[in-house]
């Protein structure tokens, strides 16, 4: 674990101190000898071996911008695994980057509380025509106008070529060169903070990509004890794991301290295998909290987890991992089946309306009962955790991109259903997340794409993708992930935003987000002051939320016909604040109350209506 003094500056790789001196520290317990070579100057800096497999040099003659490589055992030329910049890609020279050279302008930035996050997920390469950090900066005013408070950036660790989702990264410290490198990322974070946007960075601590992966040359970064869907498991608990654990802890500190990010989203933590007495996530949480106290900021850790295990959110006192929030795919699955998705594959566990009602109240749909898809009893209880501990969405990069044809919701559902999906997410007690472009119903797909250089690897990826979707041959061939056209077709079509339908949906999203922000009852995350009523015959759902001063009633019709549902007579004291079927949102007609006999509310097909009532 790190001490308070360790938090001030970087400890691994090429390190610049506060006084300007340069040191080198590389973990390479397998090495017989190790040196830093600067080809342009013909310089060789021999490193000395110290305790625990670290090789070091003090007062090294290195400066910002120097290109260098490591010489392992006198004959192996390798890039630096802790490099911050790979200007020549994953196989080329490393480039010295001094993070102190950037002059930050965000001194007045105060991070948002997690409960105020309205998240927008972005893939840098496809978000803009430029496909880089500057392209994101150009669009920040759009996100501010929409009402977004946090932008989540898919992984930017250096990957092969210039096209990738980011989950094939092989230099966790290096910022992708084709996106703008570390300087460009700093400028993006600074620009986000200037606009009032928090920055969440997606990081991958469960595996390394296959191409440009030189880690085994340096030390026991992998273990044969476990397997992952993506190859060898990272060694967090086997012999020699201490250096591996420190490598990732230092990486997290770097993003927070040197790049000023506000939160990390940890990819697929269920694939992090660690049976140590202290799980790596516990060490990570403690280390990040210590850095936060040192910086005077609250730093957030958000995990993607497929286990429905409350231990990831529990406090250390209860032997938990103390993560700040968690993605829950089950809300998405329940919502999509309710909207008409076939209950097959991982959707087969979800009954639609009843599952969605449970997701609203218990977060985990499966919290101990039998799962047909998993063929076992699955999950634990999330009782006691507030709504801001969970992130929900109607689509994200995985749920779109893992479809064979990468169809977004706009390609699968009607315009009215898109409004309903958005409304359902926004009125939930959880943190809402949008996937880039959904707010104007962009039509371009988000496909799986790579740009490897190894012919055998390219062949394996192509065949793997075809095999994965062999049962879907009637839908055509799976797009070639290596093709540049696959990547280009996945770029957002911003011109659609200017068309009538795009403008209507964008304004509808703005209204939804503004309502969520304006009404504390909608963003307070209190799952105890919430009730749900299902109308199975009509495929409708009523959600009620309340606090000391306000009650909100939300009615959702997921069927494709007009439905009538019974309501409490006290609804006459409510005001309608949003009706997706209103003509201003391109709907057919506003909903109406019928008080002949027992009061009924007539709901238009695929619509959501929100009522509020204020009381003393």
Residues within the annotated binding site for substrate? 265-270, 329-333, 397-402
Strand partners, 485: none
Q: Are strands 43-46 and 34-38 parallel, antiparallel or unpaired?
A: antiparallel
**DSSP code for 267:** T
Angle at CA of residue 116, ends 110 and 122, nearest 5°: 90
Residue 365, phi-psi category: left (phi > 0), alpha (psi -120 to 50), beta (remainder): alpha
Which tokens is 12 given?
């691994």
* Interatomic CA distance for residues 391 and 119, integer angstroms: 9
Q: Residue 63 is encoded by which pair of tokens?
A: 């400066």
Q: Taking a C-beta distance cutoff of 8 angstroms, is the pair 126, 136 a contact?
A: no
**Are the C-beta atoms of 429 and 475 separated by less than 8 Å?**
no
Question: 362 — phi, psi (to 5°)?
Answer: -115, 0
| Angle in degrees, CA 66, 70, 74, rounded to 5 | 135
Question: Measured in Å, how far apart are the chain's first and last C-alpha atoms?
Answer: 52
Q: Residues at the annotated binding site?
A: 265-270, 329-333, 397-402
- What is the DSSP secondary structure assignment for residue 112, as one 8-state letter? P
Q: How far apart are CA 452 and CA 417, in angstroms?
A: 38
What is d(CA 398, CA 392) in angstroms, rounded to the nearest whole number? 13
**474 classed as catalytic:** no
Helix (H) or strand (E) holding 285: helix 280-295
SS3 of residue 246 by DSSP: helix
Bridge partners for 543 per DSSP: 532, 554
b/e map 428-439, b = 16+ CB within 10 Å: bbbbbbbbbbbb
**Catalytic annotation, pick one of 267, 290, 439, 606:** 267
Asked if 394 and 438 count as a contact pair (C-beta separation under 8 A), the reply is yes
Asked if 244 contacts 220 with a C-beta cutoff of 8 angstroms, the reply is yes
Pairing of strands 150-153, 530-535: unpaired
- The helix, strand and coil proportions of the chain, stated in percent and rounded to the nearest 5, come to 35, 20, 45
The two three-digit tokens of residue 371, written as one number: 């799962």
Contact (CB, 8 A) for 85 and 95: yes
Token representation of residue 443: 């039509």
Active site residue 267: yes
Give the span between the Cα atoms of 513 and 149, in whole angstroms. Answer: 10
Of residues 346, 386, 395, the one with CA closest to residue 363? 386
Q: Count the neighbouring beta carbons within 10 Å of the beta carbon of residue 246.
A: 20
CA distance linking residue 553 with residue 545, whole number of Å: 7
Q: Which of 304, 480, 482, 579 is catalytic?
A: 304
d(CA 393, CA 410): 14
Cα 512 to chain centroid, rounded: 22
- Assign residue 195 a region (left: φ > 0; alpha: ψ between -120 and 50; beta: otherwise): alpha
- The dihedral region occupied by 379, where left means phi > 0, alpha psi between -120 and 50, and beta the remainder, is left
The residues annotated with a catalytic role in the active site are: 267, 304
């Amino acid at each position: 674990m790190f001490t308070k003094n360790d938090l001030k500056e970087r400890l691994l790789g090429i390190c610049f101190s506060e006084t300007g001196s340069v040191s080198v520290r590389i973990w390479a317990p397998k090495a017989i000898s190790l040196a830093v070579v600067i080809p342009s100057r013909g310089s060789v800096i021999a490193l000395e071996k110290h305790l625990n497999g670290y090789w070091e040099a003090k007062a090294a003659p290195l400066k910002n911008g120097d290109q260098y490589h490591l010489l392992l055992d006198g004959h192996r030329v390798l890039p630096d695994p802790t490099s911050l910049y790979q200007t020549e890609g994953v196989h080329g020279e490393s480039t010295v980057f001094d993070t102190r050279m950037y002059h930050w302008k965000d001194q007045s930035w105060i991070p948002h509380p997690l409960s105020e996050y309205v998240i927008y997920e972005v893939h840098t390469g496809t978000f803009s025509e430029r496909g880089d950090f500057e392209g994101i900066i150009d669009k920040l005013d759009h996100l501010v106008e929409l009402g977004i408070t946090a932008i989540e950036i898919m992984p930017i660790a250096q990957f092969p070529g210039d096209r990738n989702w980011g989950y094939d990264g092989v230099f966790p410290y290096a910022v992708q060169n084709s996106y703008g490198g570390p300087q460009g990322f700093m400028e993006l974070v600074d620009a986000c903070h200037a606009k009032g946007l928090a920055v969440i960075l997606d990081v991958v601590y469960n595996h390394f990509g296959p191409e440009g992966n030189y880690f085994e040359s340096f030390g026991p970064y992998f273990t044969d004890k476990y397997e992952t869907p993506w190859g060898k498991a990272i060694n967090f608990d086997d012999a020699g794991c201490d250096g591996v654990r420190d490598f990732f802890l230092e990486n997290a500190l770097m993003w927070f301290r040197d790049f000023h990010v506000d939160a990390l989203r940890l990819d697929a933590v269920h694939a992090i295998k660690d049976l140590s007495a202290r799980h790596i996530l516990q060490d990570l949480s403690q280390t990040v909290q210590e850095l936060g106290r040192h910086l005077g900021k609250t730093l957030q850790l958000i995990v993607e987890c497929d286990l429905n295990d409350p231990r990831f959110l529990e406090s250390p006192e209860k032997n938990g991992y103390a993560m700040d929030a968690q993605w829950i795919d089950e809300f998405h699955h329940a919502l999509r089946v309710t909207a008409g998705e076939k209950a097959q594959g991982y959707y087969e566990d979800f009954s639609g309306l009843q599952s969605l009602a449970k997701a609203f109240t218990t977060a985990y749909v499966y919290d101990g009962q039998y799962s047909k898809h998993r063929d076992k009893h699955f999950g634990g209880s999330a009782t006691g955790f507030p709504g801001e501990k969970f992130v929900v969405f109607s689509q994200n990069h995985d749920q779109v991109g893992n479809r064979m044809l990468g169809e977004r919701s706009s390609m699968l559902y009607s315009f009215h259903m898109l409004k309903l999906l958005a409304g359902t997410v926004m009125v939930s007690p959880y943190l809402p997340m949008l996937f880039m472009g959904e707010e104007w119903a962009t039509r371009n797909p988000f496909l799986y794409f790579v740009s490897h250089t190894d012919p055998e690897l390219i062949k394996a990826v192509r065949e793997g993708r075809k095999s994965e979707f062999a049962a879907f041959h009637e839908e055509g061939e799976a797009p070639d992930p290596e093709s540049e056209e696959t990547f280009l077709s996945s770029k957002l079509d911003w011109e659609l935003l200017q068309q009538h339908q795009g403008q209507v949906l964008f304004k509808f999203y703005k209204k939804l987000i503004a309502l969520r922000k304006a009404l504390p009852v909608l963003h307070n995350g209190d799952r105890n002051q919430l009730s749900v009523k299902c109308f199975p015959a009509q495929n409708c759902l009523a959600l009620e939320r309340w606090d000391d001063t306000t009650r909100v009633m939300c009615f959702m019709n997921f069927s494709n016909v007009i439905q009538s549902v019974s309501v409490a007579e006290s609804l006459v004291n409510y005001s309608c604040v949003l009706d997706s079927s209103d003509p201003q949102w391109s709907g057919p007609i506003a909903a109406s109350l019928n008080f002949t006999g027992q009061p009924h509310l007539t709901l238009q097909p695929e619509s959501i209506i929100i009522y509020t009532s204020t009381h003393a």
